[in-house]
Amino acid sequence: MSIRKPREQDLVNLCLQWLRLNRCMVWRQNQGGMTISGPGSRRFVRFCHQDGISDIIGLLPTGRFLAVECKRPGKKTGKKPTDNQAEFIREVNATGGLAVCVTNLRELATQLEHEITGGAR
């Protein structure tokens, strides 16, 4: 029996569930595009026009903008955001939103603890 390594999508799904349980309005933001072919035509359609947009976008319970970039932990996967993703995170934080990059659910909970609970334990 082989054990499947966790995928980045597994982390995205866990983070979405945790955020929703903690009263955040969030969604998975797909990036990329595809070619659509029809009779005598082909065109490329982009799903999003924001380079480096985070995996999860939404609002904290306070109404503050939230962006969460999920990275699968490990040496080979990089664990760091791309240059475009890092720039998006910087822009969100510079304009009053909250953007984080996480490799596990504990990191997300720790980084958002004050925003979610108001610092109360």
Has residue 99 got a pLDDT over 60?
A: yes
Q: Look at residue 39 in the predicted model and tell me its pLDDT.
A: 87
Which pLDDT band, with edges at 50, 70 and 90, does 16 fall under? Answer: very high
Q: Residues 66-91, buried b or exposed e (16+ Cβ, 10 A)?
A: bbbbbbbeeeeeeeebeeebeebbee
Q: Which of 74, 28, 26, 77 is nearest to 53 (CA)?
A: 28
103 located within any domain: yes
46 located within any domain: yes
pLDDT digits (tens, 9 = 90+) for 64-82: 999 999 998 776 555 789 9
Q: Which of 75, 74, 57 is nearest to 66 (CA)?
A: 57
What CATH number corresponds to the domain at position 73? 3.40.1350.10
Averaged confidence pLDDT in the chain: 88
Q: What angle do CA 46, 48, 106 make, to 5 degrees?
A: 135
Please, are residues 19 and 56 in contact by the beta-carbon 8 Å criterion?
yes
* Percentage of the chain modeled with pLDDT above 70: 91
109 located within any domain: yes
Residue 17 is part of which domain span?
Answer: 8-117
- Any alpha helices (H) in the chain, and if so which ranges? 8-21, 83-94, 105-117
Number of domains present in the structure of the chain: 1
